[in-house]
Structure 1
Amino acid sequence: MAITETKYFGKISFEPDSELEFPCGLPGFDSRKRFVAVTIPANEPLTYLQSLEAPDLCFITMPLLAVDPDYRLKVSTEDLSLLGLPPASQPRIGRDVLCLTVLSMREEGPTANLLAPIVVNLKTRRGVQAIAPEGGYSHQHELMPVAVAACA
């Protein structure tokens, strides 16, 4: 069992083989390559992607199919290579890869980044943030409708 100190969860323990490796880091955090997925049963389906290199770096995510059950994952040849998957394949969510969407908390309500999901090979534990420009997906997909103030 390994232990790491985090800003948001204090000390957490994890199995070393549960570590996720992002060979290129994540956009904007290129030097951060090692993460662990933290789940808290009371907060499911949220998953916290905690950096093992920066205690204050943690992304709030959730399973992509929980947001859009009909999502069509397209992974580039370059990303397939980074994931350690065959070049002509299209991985299946839940069978070949874990697919998470990063959440953003905004005044108007939470949004999910469907344009660039986090994709992790379930066998190798290697991950990428795979940009899917041709799918018509948004980086600010609304999770809940905005509350409308009552008119007087």
Structure 2
Amino acid sequence: MTIQTKFHGELDLDTLTQWTFPKGLPGLEDETAFVLLPIDGNDSFQVMQSVNTPGVALIVANPYTVVSDYSFAIDDPTLELLGIDTQEDLMILSVMSMKAPFESSTINLQAPLIFNIQNHTAKQMILNDTSYSLRTPIGSPAQKGAR
């Protein structure tokens, strides 16, 4: 089976790891299947591409590369929904908002993407801790509480 993507053209879905978001994403509840695609020449970012809608593609990054002291607790409903038993099962990414110039781009630390790498399920979890921002600047030293 092939899928059409926003940035990578047509791809063979059988060669890609498909991630299932059982409840979709906030604001995109009908989008439950995604793949992570590399960005040529950039190891820091990936494209999280919808399997069903070519125009739905989000740039994502490891938030720990932007904020070294980023820390939060995953709530029990998320752990249960994703079937997470150990920390080794986890991969955390955050959605980027890309801008020109690049230094004015931001990362969403308020709603991390939680992935279970064992069963390929994922969820965007909105944190109750409001000390993290939806739009943390990446061009300057990002600190907890940056708005």
Shift of 1:96: 2.1
For residues 82 and 16 of structure 1, what CA distance do their matches in structure 2 show?
26
**Aligned-pair RMSD on alpha carbons?**
1.9
For residues 85 and 126 of structure 1, what CA distance do their matches in structure 2 show?
10
Greater Rg by CA: 1
The letter of the residue matching 1:30 is E
Q: Across the two proteins, how many residue pairs are aligned to each other? A: 138
For residues 39 and 16 of structure 1, what CA distance do their matches in structure 2 show?
13
Task: Look up the match of 2:61.
Answer: 62
2:106/2:138 contact within 8 Å kept: yes
Shift of 1:131: 1.4
User: Which of 86, 89, 101 is residue 96 of structure 1 equivalent to?
Assistant: 89
1:115 and 2:110 are equivalent in the alignment:
yes
Of the structure 1 ranges 49-58 and 17-26, higher mean CA displacement relative to structure 2 is found in: 17-26
1:20 and 2:13 are equivalent in the alignment:
no
Q: Secondary structure at the match of 2:23?
A: coil
Q: Percent identical across equivalent pairs? A: 28
Shift of 1:129: 0.4
Q: Secondary structure at the match of 1:65?
A: helix
Task: Look up the match of 1:47.
Answer: 46
For residues 61 and 128 of structure 2, what CA distance do their matches in structure 1 show?
20
TM, length-normalised to structure 2 = 0.84
Unaligned runs of 5+ in 1: 146-152
Shift of 1:76: 1.3
Shift of 1:106: 4.3
TM, length-normalised to structure 1 = 0.82
